[in-house]
Amino acid sequence: MSHILVIADFEDDSFIVLEQAQVLAKAYDCSLRIVNFCYENLAGISDIEAAKQAIISEVHENSAHKLVNTLVKEVDYDFETVWAKNIHLWINDYVTEHKPKMVVKTGHRSEALFYTPTDWHLIRECNVPVMIATDKHWHKANTVLATVDLATNLPEKQQLNEKVLQHASILAKQLHTDMHICYTIEVSPTLSKLGIVNKEILEIQQLGLIKDKVKLMASNFGVNEEHIHIKTGEIDKVVTSVAAACKASHIVVGTVGRKGLEQKLIGNSAEAIMHLAKTDILVLKP
């Protein structure tokens, strides 16, 4: 049976990640592999291995008690406490070896560009979909918003569009809610401010070019054409605005991962959306 890897945070009493994991397990017909991490600097300790095992046992016992009271046999799961300093490295190795359906963890919003180094690494490096569950919700399971690039002619991005739509459809059905689709015609604030670009005219022109794609999407995924939003602007701000307007509880977004120096220096649209959006976000790669 396929499974979902859940990165638990038992210091967070709200257990939002476990709630979201249950929804996903039912949506994808999966079991849950729940992992809690612990680590302490044991420099100067005479028997490091004994101290390490004592800490793991203590953390595991406390966490297991909370886990039983939270899941209450809603889904099949197993639970492990792991000693690891660099969590993302452990997760990446686990994903390579065990190939879970996806990884789910909580992301704590901050004013920083991205949540935590672990989230940053997972979004860019993890080879399966990653769900970052917010620690606070805008809305309670109202709609699911899929973000796509309808103008692309690149096969990789077209496949990613299809993947985003498929996952959004699965979530919407499990949550018994509507699916919305957002396509952003990217226009810089400077061009808009100077009146060089007329947003309304650009949207009308673009809709004329992609109307067949819009009709096909609506038909294939059972989406009302009124729920397909085509807007101009900066993608992160547009998606966040549309998500608020349609009361989205989940956003599904695709990202083409970068490598090497470019990965370290340049952000991407998925990360920009995650910085602004106060909702659960599922990030997919081609």
Q: Kindly report the CATH class assigned to 143-284.
A: alpha beta
Of 13-27, 80-94, 100-114, 255-269, the poorest mean pLDDT is in 255-269
- Let me know: does 159 contact 286? Beta carbons within 8 Å: yes
Q: Where do runs of H (alpha helix) occur along the chain?
A: 16-28, 48-71, 87-98, 117-125, 155-175, 189-193, 199-221, 235-245, 260-265, 269-276
Residue 148's nearest CA partner among 123, 133, 165, 173 is: 165
What one-letter code names the amino acid at 281? I
CATH number of 3-134: 3.40.50.620
User: 221: which 2 tokens?
Assistant: 């995924």
Q: What are phi and psi of 65, to 5 degrees?
A: -65, -45
Predicted confidence band at 113 (pLDDT cuts at 50, 70, 90)? very low
Q: Which residue has the higher pLDDT, 209 or 178?
A: 178
Q: Which residue has the higher pLDDT, 114 or 282?
A: 282
| Residue 171, CA distances (Å) to 36, 48, 73, 117 in order | 25, 45, 21, 27
Tell me: pLDDT of 180 over 80. yes
Task: Find the distance separating the first CA and the last CA of the chain, reported in whole Å.
Answer: 23
Over the stretch 209-259, which tens digit does the pLDDT of each residue have? 788 888 888 899 999 989 999 888 888 899 999 999 999 999 999 987 655
| Residue 252, CA distances (Å) to 27, 37, 64, 77, 85 in order | 15, 27, 31, 25, 30
Domain 3-134 matches domain 143-284 at the CATH topology level: yes
| Predicted TM-score of the model (pTM) | 0.86
Q: What are phi and psi of 244, to 5 degrees?
A: -65, -40
Average pLDDT, the chain: 83
Query: Cα-atom radius of gyration of the chain, to the nearest Å?
Result: 21
Over the stretch 181-207, which tens digit does the pLDDT of each residue have? 999 987 766 656 656 666 666 666 777
- Let me know: does 235 contact 186? Beta carbons within 8 Å: yes
Chain mean position to CA 194? 35
Domain ranges of the chain: 3-134, 143-284
- Let me know: does 214 contact 204? Beta carbons within 8 Å: no
Cα 101 from Cα 2, distance rounded (Å): 6
Work out the percent of the chain whose per-residue pLDDT is above 70.
82
Predicted confidence band at 115 (pLDDT cuts at 50, 70, 90)? low
Of 102-111, 121-130, 145-154, 233-242, the poorest mean pLDDT is in 102-111
pLDDT value, residue 266: 41
Give the residue-averaged pLDDT of 73-99. 92
